Amino acid sequence: MIVNSITLQNFRNHEDSKVDFAPGINLITGRNGMGKTNLIDAIHYLCMSRSFATASDMYVVKQGSSGFFIEARLSGSIRASFRVTCTYTRGDGKKFLVNDSPLERLSDLIGLVPVVVLSPDDKRLTNEGPAERRSFLDAMISQVYRSYLTDLLEYRRIIRQRNRLLSMRGIRPDMLQIQLEPWNQQLAKAGAKIIARRRTVLARFSEFLEESYARISGIGLKPSFRYKTIANLPEEASEDEIADIFAGLIDENLEKETERQMTLSGPHRDDLILYLDEMELRKFGSQGQHRLFALALKMAQLAYFSDVLDDLPVFLLDDVFGDLDPAKVSILADMLNAHKGQAFITAANQAPFEGLIPFDTAQNRHFTVTEGPLIHISQPQPESDASDDDDDVHLPDE
């Protein structure tokens, strides 16, 4: 998938900006606060319906504005050329269109433009609690299997309804059990679908993780993970068998769940326990090992997408090279050069990439963000591109 251009209006600090991209590696350099992250965050927004840099839509609206607009022109193997637009208005929410046709649900956007993001926040993947790893897993699988996202949204709906019943006061236990029964059946079936899909994907993903970590680290430690899900689940259990085991666990937990007023078992409480050799990373890993493992997870995601999807993913790398030593920068640059898809890198300057990534070709492009703010294209454009008058594109502060 190629993002050919993007137009922003009142997105974060962009008042009215348009940028044309190269089909290969796009490097965006400049001092802090010049607006480097904003551009690739807008790309992510059109891919995943949300910002990767901030949790709330209200924070991506330019100060003093009531909403924002983003439009990208893209091309891929399935859709030769198409447009994705998003309009957000305070109080009215966001609306996405593909070639001027509105999407009925936000979930219809996920997977249309597959994307992988590498950022300093990835350290949370290995350092923090299970929710971070579940989020990573769900975002990855949802971009490959649309049915998984449908099942996930349905499962969350069931959990909300079931928890509502569990939190009711003054209801007799026998009446509560009667009201919970249909939700219990739905929960077991929906949860089994999610667990089965996670298991299938993770079995394949583990191969890419081993390859990525070996290449990045250059040492003999073997990365692995254990998918921690509902108890007493056989390795080769079918989806129906998972549903039966889950249903039994739901019945066993009823008294505890009534006391806690929440659903205590299911894929919403799953985790990926990460290991280097037999050492549990979260408990015993060094800061450097955490950093390399998180990097390997994202590079494995990129490799997995490239293997199973018809279109290569868009790869966004936000300010990640400053923490890497020259040897790791060289390895990552080699992996980027080998990646046949499009990539966007933000960095303070071009120095780490000199001699590693060529920016004097039509395939790659280097943008320098300066005061104004302006983006300067740092090498001559091909004859078919815009005239010299378009070389400076106005960008806002970050």
For residue 91, what are its two tokens?
A: 């109080």
- CA separation for the pair 96, 356 (Å, rounded): 38
Parallel/antiparallel/unpaired status of strands 223-228 and 343-347: unpaired
The 3 state secondary structure assigned to 325-366 is CHHHHHHHHHHHHHCCCCEEEEECCCHHHCCCCCCCCCCCEE
Residue whose C-alpha is closest to residue 340's, from 307, 317, 367, 373: 307
Average pLDDT, the chain: 90
- CA separation for the pair 165, 258 (Å, rounded): 9
Annotated binding-site ranges for ATP: 30-37
The answer on pLDDT for 280 being more than 70 is: yes
Annotated binding-site ranges: 30-37
Say how far residue 398 (Cα) sits from the centre of its chain: 21
The band of 371, judged by pLDDT with boundaries at 50, 70 and 90, is low
Determine the pLDDT at residue 390.
Answer: 34
347-371 average pLDDT score = 88
Domain map (residue ranges) of the chain: 1-114+311-398, 129-308
**CA distances, 119 to each of 122, 130, 225, 295, 317 (Å):** 6, 19, 22, 9, 6
Residue whose C-alpha is closest to residue 41's, from 15, 60, 27: 60
Determine the pLDDT at residue 169.
Answer: 84
Give residue-wise pLDDT tens across range 302-356: 999 999 999 999 999 999 998 889 999 999 999 999 988 999 999 999 999 999 9
- CA separation for the pair 274, 126 (Å, rounded): 7
Q: What is the model's pTM? A: 0.90
Residue pair 32/371 in contact (Cβ under 8 Å)? The answer is no
The band of 380, judged by pLDDT with boundaries at 50, 70 and 90, is very low
Give residue-wise pLDDT tens across range 74-85: 999 878 899 999
The answer on pLDDT for 361 being more than 50 is: yes
Question: What's the CATH architecture for 1-114+311-398?
Answer: 3-Layer(aba) Sandwich (3.40)
129-308, what's its fold?
Answer: Glutathione S-transferase Yfyf (Class Pi); Chain A, domain 2 (1.20.1050)
- CA separation for the pair 115, 316 (Å, rounded): 7
Give residue-wise pLDDT tens across range 104-126: 999 999 999 999 999 999 999 99
